[in-house]
Amino acid sequence: MADWLAKALECFPELLDGTFQNRYYDHPGDLWIDLRSLLWMAYENQANSDDLIGRIYDYATWCFEQPQTKDVETDLSSATAVGLIEDIPLNPRVSGDLHRWMSVESFEGFKSLFRYHLSDEAYCTFHDEFMRKKKTYSGPSRL
């Protein structure tokens, strides 16, 4: 079993029971489809969701810290960027709470990914809202 998958199954027992139980992950991108779904569901359910949300962002951080590969199919940074980061602005609940999980440095580093789905005007609004909320939030960032 690949390291990325072993780490994911350790971090997310949810992948082994219920909705995702019959899924086989050939590539990290396949996994991020389900992790993004878990993140979206956590915001829909709200009850006790901070633990799951934190684990998703922690796993994303772990993926970004792994050595890059020459194959886009196995590169964890690329899979995480495409499978999670670039879609964050598409979900108002996730993007509206991003200031609690992401540092300003990471936010600025992901600028091109955030802009992928956004017009210039929408990106400016997204950026300004994140920065406004971040100024009043004193907790630690996970990503």
Give the residue extent of every domain in the chain. 3-136
> Are 124 and 72 within 8 A, CB to CB?
no
Report residue 81 as tokens.
């960027």
If you search the block for the tokens 């934190």, which residue do you land on? 54
Report residue 93 as tokens.
């609940």
Look up residue 63 and give its amino acid: C
- DSSP 3-state of 63: helix
d(CA 84, CA 143): 12
pLDDT in tens, the chain (143 residues): 689 999 998 999 888 776 665 567 888 999 999 999 999 999 998 767 999 999 999 999 999 999 999 888 889 999 999 999 999 999 999 999 999 999 999 999 999 999 999 999 999 999 999 999 999 999 999 99
